[in-house]
Structure formats: structure tokens, C-alpha cells
Amino acid sequence: MANGSGEGLTIPDGDSEDQALVDPEHLPDTLMIDMVRLGRGCYSNCLSCGAFEGMDPAGRRIQTISQEQLEKNLLQEIPDYRSGTRLQLIELFASVVTSGVDMEPLDSNIFNQAAELICKLSEGRSRMAAISHGVGMYETSREGSSQFCAQRGQAERLSRLNDLMMEDVVPLFVLSMDAARAGGVPGRTARKHHKQVCEMENPNADFMKTMRSLATQSQRDEGIPEFGENTLQWSARLARVRNQQIKVVREKVLRGEDLDEKEKLINEYIKARDNRRKAVIEINARGYAQTLNMLLPAIMAGKRVTISLQGDNNRDSLAYHGLAREILQRTLDLLTSVYGLTTVEVRDLLGRVEVTPPRIYAPVGRARNLLGVSEPVDDCPVIPDPTFVRTLMREHAPRVTRGMIDTDGSLMVQSNRPRHGYPDTVAPPPENTWAKVALSVREGAVNSGGVVALPLGGTSIGKAAGESEG
């Protein structure tokens, strides 16, 4: 799992020339802790998650720390030699912190407990934002029609989270809206149609034999030898031919024209893909609609709720960003048809929440390995709400060091690069790797407070810390 847990990191002895030395005593001057990990594992199984490398079932097993362990982690101390005192870690928290990027806040009780505890211990100076996919749905069949039910316990936790927003304990709820949950095919209907699509895309299936024949013909038309293209070129040609044929058959169907046998086969493929898309949109929208309906009290009270549309750029992807737009539209329709809101009320709701343009996934973790996302992103903070983040930056003094408290209480630090917060969290580059801080003086350390070498070579942390002495 590619995350910032710090497992396996060791504190070097400081002899390496490319290691920058950072004294823990200087961290109070440069450090801002903006993340507190509460456990590991996520039931959502999103195709796009940067915190996981693949679809290992073990990643769905949720393990959280206890509330007691969390409090112990937050109240650890760090020396501040300039003032001659010791500071609790909670005193170095940013005004808004997150719980990491590898757990769904609604999967367990620990998020709500952590939000209350952080607000209490910091006396309201720091609060925890929720970044969630909202209530997840599972699908059952009753009397021949699909029924949708919320995942166990999630609605109750969301209800409590709504209360915490009303109490100003949670300052922000980001609803990550995409089609990535459950490997991109949540629900039995979506899986049924996905199976049909996969069967037709099998290299030995009649549909793919037809596509290869048409692709070979297009090569001849362009004067290209049958084996004159490499694998990537041939795959791209197959995709172009398929998409061209889909367009032709769709237009013939719209005109009511008869289809030949080849076109009927293509039309079956079109139906399977369309049915899969429709099923994916429906089950996702059902969950998002229930989520927004349950957050209505907070939304109408002026609390900040952001809908972050997300996806990738590949139109054939199960997590294409265009699906997020369709899911949002279906969500708004369901608020009227299922939850009884009037069109005026839905329009009012949409005007009160922040809807961000589709955010393209960062090329890390599953997004890279399973979706093939490779293009780097220019701006990918942990909190996908640019307006909120800009407001945050004006509310507290900037710090050059970013901190995260891991589940075992370890304090991990790296150079603070707000625009790159998400990839830096889950897959930091070598020059900005997470480094573990010794929170207590080592045995035999000299009176300087115990210099600890941290792998932050190439960053500005050591320089900034040294400059702060003046």
C-alpha cells in the first residue's frame, strides 16, 4: 500500500552527505500538523484510490485505533528549547486537519470521535474536515425490481456528522463524487452487464474478431502492412475502429434503419455498455442523494458542503469524469422523485453547496496501476475545495514543514507543498519523503536536545529551521 504511514522508515545516523539535519527543537517554529491517521483499510474499494496499489482484499479490512490511543497520540510532547517548555502536538495543529486519504469517514465511529476530541483538546482552534464518498449502497431484488439499501451503520454515522457540523465541530464536508467505488461496478445489475461487456471484449469473442477484421481492413486502406504497427498503435487503431462502428450503428438505430448481422452484434455490445453505465449511475446517485438529503439541515444552516466531481480523462474508463456529471444530475432528480424535494428546493440546495469542476485523479496508486492515469496534475491538495483552501491559507501563518501523526503515535514530517498535498501524502517523491521525528531525547544525547537526522535532503526545511534561529 503506497501511503504515508512511515512503516519501515528508520532514523539515519546523519553521516550521509545528502541528509539534511533537523533538530526537533526547531520544529515548533516551522511545523504545522495537518493530518491525523485513524487506522487503515477502506470498504469502498475505489478504482482511483492513491493510497492502495491494487485490489488486495486485505485493503478492505478496516482497523481503527481506539479513542484512548488517539488522545494519547495528540497529547504527546515535543521540546521547544527557545521558550524552555514542551509543547503538546495538538498545539501545533493547523486550523483544519484531515484524517488521511485511505479511510472512509463513514465506515467506522472513529472519525466522529476524533473530530470531537480534536476540537475539545484544541479548545476549538483546530477542527477536522470530512472527505467522504457519502453513504454507500448495496442492491437487492424484490419482486423483479431493484431495491437500494444503505451500507450498515453509515447513515447513523452521517446523521451524527451532520450534528457535528451544526455544532461547528466539523467545518467542511467534501462529497467526492465519481464512479470509482466497488471497482467501478457497484451493485448486482452493474456487475451483470459488466460481465457481458467483458465477455464480448474477450479476444476470442465474435465481437473482437469482427473489430480485428475491420481494423485490418483500415490498415489496408491506409497502405499499412498487416503487422506494420506496434502493440500500442494496433490497440489505438482497434479502439478507433470500435468507436467509429459504435457511432455508425447508433445513428442507424436512431434513424430506424435495419441492421445487418455485424451491426446487430455491435448493437448488442452498445446495449451492454449502456446498461452498465446506467446501472453504475443509478446506484451511485442513490447513495449521493441520501447523503445530501441527510446533510440538508447543515446545508440550510449555511455549513460548508462541497461536491467534488472527479474522474479520469479516458472516455472508455469505468471512472470517466463524464460519469460524475451524469451521477450528479441523477442525484438531483432523485432528491425530487424519492425524497420529495421540490424543484425550487433542489435548486436552492445546489446554490448553497460548492460544486467543483471535475478533478482529474493524480497518477498514484490504483489510479496509475488500474486506470492507467499517467499525466501529472498541476494542483492536487488533500482537500479538493480550492475556495476553502485559499481561505485557510489566510487564517494561519504559513509553515514550511508539514506534519502527520500516524496511528502508532509517530510524528512524520515532510516539506509543506500545499498544491501537491495528495500525491505527497501517498507517494512522495524521494526528495520529499516522510521522515520520522523522535519525540523524546535519545539516551546519551548531548544538551543540544538530541539532534535527529531526517531524510529531507533537497528540501527547504533544514534551511528554514536554521534561519529561524536568528
Tens digit of each residue's pLDDT (9 = 90 or more) over 252-268: 999 999 999 999 999 99
422-452 pLDDT per residue, tens: 999 999 999 999 988 877 543 333 333 333 3
Q: List the one residue out of 117, 133, 127, 75 whose CA is nearest residue 96.
A: 127
Q: How many CA atoms lie within 13 A of 415 on its CB side?
A: 20
- Beta-sheet strands, E only, within 39-198: 39-40, 63-64, 77-80, 85-88, 93-98, 127-128, 130-132, 137-142, 145-150, 172-177
124-167 pLDDT per residue, tens: 999 999 999 999 999 998 777 889 999 999 999 999 999 999 99
For residue 352, pLDDT over 90 is answered with: yes
Domain ranges of the chain: 40-184+284-395, 189-277
* Per-residue 3-state assignment (H helix, E strand, C coil) for 391-448: HHHHHCCCCCEEEEECCCCCEEEEECCHHHHHHHHHCCCHHHCCEEECCCCCCCCCCC
Mean predicted confidence (pLDDT) in 9-13 = 32
Between 3.90.1720, 3.30.530, 3.20.20, 3.40.50, what CATH number should domain 40-184+284-395 receive?
Answer: 3.20.20
For residue 462, pLDDT over 70 is answered with: no
The amino acid occupying position 247 is: K
Q: What's the start-to-end Cα distance of the chain, in Å?
A: 41
169-200 pLDDT per residue, tens: 999 999 999 999 999 999 999 999 999 999 99
Quick check: helix, strand or coil at residue 67? helix
For residue 468, pLDDT over 60 is answered with: no
Mean predicted confidence (pLDDT) in 65-89 = 90
For residue 291, pLDDT over 50 is answered with: yes
Helices (H), 167-295: 188-200, 206-221, 231-255, 261-294
pLDDT grade for 275, boundaries at 50, 70 and 90: very high
How confident is the model at residue 393, as a pLDDT?
Answer: 64
Q: Is the Cα torsion angle 296, 299, 305, 308 positive or negative in sign?
A: positive
Mean predicted confidence (pLDDT) in 18-36 = 74
For residue 7, pLDDT over 50 is answered with: no
Cβ atoms within 10 A of the Cβ of 155, count? 15
The amino acid occupying position 317 is: S
